[in-house]
Chain A
């Protein structure tokens, strides 16, 4: 029995040694095996990038079958001749099956190859793409939805402007901050102190600055009638020119051209905090009774509004910068929030063009609200019922409001 057990243990040990040896042999065989060649991407297509001004070709390909295993990316090669020398124009990351070559000349024909590259820098070249040539298009069909929506809103604006020009009254709800404008100017007149108007720190290429300058025109007209002193420090030279024109026109229309002075509007500096330092200095030295902050603002908003608050000025602000609105709401007496700023000039002037424009924008809001209600309802019904009909309709809504980058 003892001999049998010894034999059994010996057999087990021998078996274990044999198994271990076989495993190591198999491992050696595996590590010595030659890896299979890297498979290239296929079906390479090159064509003009649609809806652009030319100068770009889009290259598409079918991913290499080795994509999931060891591909690190795809190098894009280009040549102007199928038999010529190909040079690298870019690199697409693993998983990408398209590349936009945005550096082409419209007069030349290009051929492309896509090279799969693996972790060991092995490369595998695709077949040649068909010839491709970039060209400019007159119309970008990717932006058709924008054309339709923009057309509807602009059409509504034109309709309401025409409507207002015929003398028909257009209703606009009152905006609390604007009704305080005359009161604030009157207060400055009574106190014999100047009025400070800050048109933001961006240039005339920002719509908020344009709105600020429009409101400045209305404010300046009232100031001209009240014979109060106006001070408009600007941080951009073109804003200064525009503000000067606007204020001058306002004084002329108020019949007080004699009271106008070019010194009302002056340039300070383009530097954001240099401008703030100067405006703060003006505030504490001239102690204006009323401060207007109408336009685009950044980090300087709270510094200026707090300084204005510390000197006891009535403050009216208006901006569409979401990050700065909280500071104006906290530190100013009245704040025109977002679109109220753009509505303000229309409301103040009462001009048919501006009133019609505002009414037209309201049509845009009706479109937005309707789309949200319909889209959210379709999505909800689809989520509950799983109906393919509602799923398709919800998808259609998404497509209508999708933005294609190109």
Chain B
């Protein structure tokens, strides 16, 4: 804990120094909410050093507030418009006047029953009832997603790969275009072979499978760099908040 205090002292010293450098140039924010935001940002960032009481406080606050927030969101964005307003529209006249005029749709009682069945998990005598509702959710979801994934991830991908491996432009061979198309077609084929589970990856099949995983890894590398850039922009955003909105050090 003594080490923690040292780091806390260093942190205070650092921001104190920033404040002194800022003295007479700009005035530090006097907005209480900005101070709360800055404190919580620093508390979360302190996890980079190690677990500490400030991080624990910010973590528990975040979890508690967000859990309550999502509970309220679930009530007002799901239960009220999709269930209560459908079964008995006049009841939401004060909050959703456009829906209140519509006729009731009583078949929404079925999802209401399924919801109650899901809550039966809390009953010590009949928790098994919740399994029926769960089975319904999993089954319908699987069925709905089957068509969606078949369209986007299967049929759509195959269509995009139906391309010539030799590209001619005005009767002459285009090296760049042909190379790109060969990479696409071979990459997809080798990738599919890597994900083929019914045959041992040996011989030529094994070679194609290895090419497939190499192509995947190259793709991951490019994706890694791209996503890291996006994350850095998030960090820049937080730094701008600390040094701009809070300390007024940068504009």
* Interface stretch of the complex, out of B79-87, B185-193, B240-248: B185-193
| Nearest CB on A from B41, distance (A) | 12
Contact A277 B69 (CB under 8 A): no
Mask: chain A, 45-63; 1 = CB below 8 Å from B; 0 = not: 0000000000000000000
In the complex, what residue of chain B is closest to A355 when comparing beta carbons? B197
CB contacts under 8 Å to B, within A127-151, are 143, 145-146, 149-150
Chain A residue numbers with a CB within 8 Å of B137 are 204-205, 238
Docked complex Cα distance between A384 and B172 (Å)? 10
Docked complex Cα distance between A195 and B157 (Å)? 38
Centre residue among B65, B66, B144, B196 by max chain A CB count within 10 A: B66
* Interface stretch of the complex, out of B1-9, B26-34, B163-171: B163-171
* Interface stretch of the complex, out of B14-22, B89-97, B101-109, B213-221: B213-221
Chain B residue numbers with a CB within 8 Å of A275 are 63
B88 contacts the other chain (CB 8 A) = no
Chain A residue numbers with a CB within 8 Å of B47 are 280
Kindly identify which residue among A145, A210, A340 contacts B138, using a CB–CB cutoff of 8 Å.
A210
Docked complex Cα distance between A322 and B167 (Å)? 29
A350 contacts the other chain (CB 8 A) = no
In the complex, what residue of chain A is closest to B140 when comparing beta carbons? A205
Known A-B contacts A241-B134, A368-B154, A403-B151; the reply to A326 vs B142 at CB < 8 A is: no
| Nearest CB on A from B136, distance (A) | 11
Chain B residue numbers with a CB within 8 Å of A369 are 189, 192-193
| Nearest CB on A from B91, distance (A) | 25
Mask: chain A, 336-379; 1 = CB below 8 Å from B; 0 = not: 01111001000100000000001100101100110111011001
A96 contacts the other chain (CB 8 A) = no
Chain B residue numbers with a CB within 8 Å of A281 are 51, 55-56, 59
A86 contacts the other chain (CB 8 A) = no
CB contacts under 8 Å to B, within A273-330, are 273-275, 277-278, 280-281, 284-285, 299, 302, 322-323, 325-327, 329-330
Chain A residue numbers with a CB within 8 Å of B155 are 145-146, 149, 401-403
Chain B residue numbers with a CB within 8 Å of A325 are 220, 223
Kindly identify which residue among B161, B195, B220, B223 contacts A375, using a CB–CB cutoff of 8 Å.
B161
Total residues of chain B contacting the partner, CB 8 A: 66
Docked complex Cα distance between A78 and B138 (Å)? 42
Contact B164 A271 (CB under 8 A): no
A4 contacts the other chain (CB 8 A) = no
In the complex, what residue of chain A is closest to B168 when comparing beta carbons? A383
B141 contacts the other chain (CB 8 A) = yes
Contact A173 B134 (CB under 8 A): no
| Nearest CB on A from B222, distance (A) | 9
Kindly identify which residue among B144, B147, B197 contacts A146, using a CB–CB cutoff of 8 Å.
B147
In the complex, what residue of chain A is closest to B234 when comparing beta carbons? A299
B201 contacts the other chain (CB 8 A) = yes
In the complex, what residue of chain A is closest to B191 when comparing beta carbons? A338
Contact B163 A365 (CB under 8 A): no
Docked complex Cα distance between A365 and B208 (Å)? 15
A17 contacts the other chain (CB 8 A) = no
Docked complex Cα distance between A325 and B69 (Å)? 30
Contact A173 B197 (CB under 8 A): yes
Docked complex Cα distance between A373 and B147 (Å)? 24
In the complex, what residue of chain B is closest to A371 when comparing beta carbons? B158
Docked complex Cα distance between A323 and B227 (Å)? 7
Chain A residue numbers with a CB within 8 Å of B185 are 372, 376
A268 contacts the other chain (CB 8 A) = yes
Mask: chain B, 143-182; 1 = CB below 8 Å from A; 0 = not: 0111101110011111101111111100000000000000
Chain A residue numbers with a CB within 8 Å of B134 are 204, 238, 241-242, 245
CB contacts under 8 Å to A, within B39-54, are 44, 47, 50-51
Docked complex Cα distance between A398 and B164 (Å)? 13
Docked complex Cα distance between A382 and B162 (Å)? 12
B67 contacts the other chain (CB 8 A) = yes
Known A-B contacts A207-B149, A271-B66, A271-B70; the reply to A340 vs B59 at CB < 8 A is: no
A21 contacts the other chain (CB 8 A) = no
Chain A residue numbers with a CB within 8 Å of B193 are 369
Chain B residue numbers with a CB within 8 Å of A368 are 154, 157-158, 192
Chain B residue numbers with a CB within 8 Å of A222 are none
Docked complex Cα distance between A329 and B218 (Å)? 12
Docked complex Cα distance between A369 and B212 (Å)? 13
Contact B220 A149 (CB under 8 A): no
Contact B147 A150 (CB under 8 A): yes
B75 contacts the other chain (CB 8 A) = no
Chain B residue numbers with a CB within 8 Å of A402 are 155, 159
Contact A383 B192 (CB under 8 A): no
Contact B156 A277 (CB under 8 A): no
Contact A339 B161 (CB under 8 A): no
Centre residue among B62, B149, B220 by max chain A CB count within 10 A: B220
Chain A residue numbers with a CB within 8 Å of B168 are 383-384
In the complex, what residue of chain A is closest to B223 when comparing beta carbons? A326
A270 contacts the other chain (CB 8 A) = yes
Contact sample, A vs B, 8 pairs, CB 8 Å cutoff:
A173-B198, A205-B141, A268-B67, A323-B223, A326-B220, A369-B193, A371-B162, A372-B188
